[in-house]
Amino acid sequence: MKRSKLGSSDLLVSEIGLGCMSLGTEEVSAIRLIHEALERDVNFLDTADLYDDGRNEAIVGKAIKGRRHDVILATKVGNRRTPGQEGTTWDPSKKYIISAVKESLTRLRTDYIDLYQLHGGTLEDPMDETIEAFEMLKQEGLIRHYGISSIRQNVVREYVSRSNIVSVMSQYSILDRRPEEEILPTLAANDISMIVRGPVAKGILSARGDQKTDNGYLEHKAAELQKIRAELQTLVHENRSMAQIAIRYVLSDPSVAVTIPGASSLDQLLHNIAAGDVTPLTEEEIAIIRDFSKAYHYADHR
């Protein structure tokens, strides 16, 4: 598996990681998937304290016990749960971040986190306070590096200019090319890497994706999704599936260090990992894809 340096950090991450959110709460099967990923040279695992109310972190922690040195471990913070209440509230305060990291470390069964990410962000946040918290945790050795998970260009721009983030996690796919407009060029100019989530667009860009188009995707209507799938099908051959083309597309940008397609089954996991071995897209193929797909603009949201 090819490895890339994550921004200006010393972290070398596999170009295909594992987004752990979709592993589910059945411990045995989830741990099996994580172990299978590690055996196949995947070293980047991404979770969050929000997923399954912390259960996801606990499963990841159990899975990597005795194998911590094999893993670049990433988790997220900012969505605060209040005991006895449903849902979460947004809390990027220094006090909360410093408290939450200790709980994540306990669940993950580790004494440090390789990449700690702010799980969202708005322009109204106390950014200086948030950045101060991450810098403090870094100085204390509780985290090695930090980043932000956001699709909001204005928020990303602020953190790029005001902090030492090494990565930005963002939704990015052939069906959602918003990062190409500003975020990716900004990251390239500042030695910051993108971590891509959603490269297969909720499964629409997969072999069975025609069954998932009825409700549309972002501003794409069902008919347009079917047309894009038909165009992509012309690039599929026996050694490269549509999902693998979708994964290779986002990896074609040099600022993308790793993509984290989710997997809820062994077959899905192995198929995603195999994208690391298929022939990369040529410049001509990338141009073809961009010709029949479109970049859309949406209202900013966390």
Residue 238 has pLDDT above 50, yes or no: yes
pLDDT of 299 over the 50 cut: no
Q: Encoding tokens for residue 285?
A: 């193929």
* Confidence at residue 301, expressed as pLDDT on a 0 to 100 scale: 40
Structure tokens at 192: 């910051």
* Whole-angstrom distance, CA of residue 173 vs CA of residue 294: 11
User: Domain spans of the chain?
Assistant: 3-202+248-279
pLDDT reading at 62 higher than 80 = yes
How many C-alpha atoms does 32 have within 13 Å on its Cβ side?
A: 11
Give yes or no for a contact between 149 and 76, defined as CB atoms under 8 angstroms apart. yes
DSSP 279: P
Residue 31, CA atoms < 13 Å, CB-side half-sphere: 12
pLDDT value of position 99: 95
Per annotation, catalytic residue among 51, 159, 172, 217: 51
Q: Is 177 helix (H, G, I), strand (E, B) or coil?
A: coil
Tokens of 83: 């005991």
Q: Who contacts 144 (Cβ-Cβ below 8 Å, separation ≥6)?
A: 9, 10, 11, 112, 113, 114, 115, 138
DSSP H stretches of helix in the chain = 27-39, 55-63, 94-108, 127-139, 153-162, 183-189, 222-233, 242-251, 266-274, 283-292
Q: What's the pLDDT score for residue 295?
A: 65
Q: Is 51 a catalytic residue?
A: yes
> Which tokens hold the place of 35?
């172990």
The pLDDT of residue 83: 73
User: Does the pTM of the predicted model rise above 0.75?
Assistant: yes
CB 40 within 8 A of CB 275: no
Q: What is the pLDDT of residue 298?
A: 53
Residue type, 299: A
Q: Specify the DSSP class assigned to residue 174.
A: T
Express each pLDDT in 261-275 by its tens digit: 988 899 999 999 999
Architecture of the domain defined by 3-202+248-279: Alpha-Beta Barrel (3.20)
Count Cα atoms within 13 angstroms, Cβ side, for 258.
31
Residue 302: which pLDDT band, with cuts at 50, 70 and 90?
very low
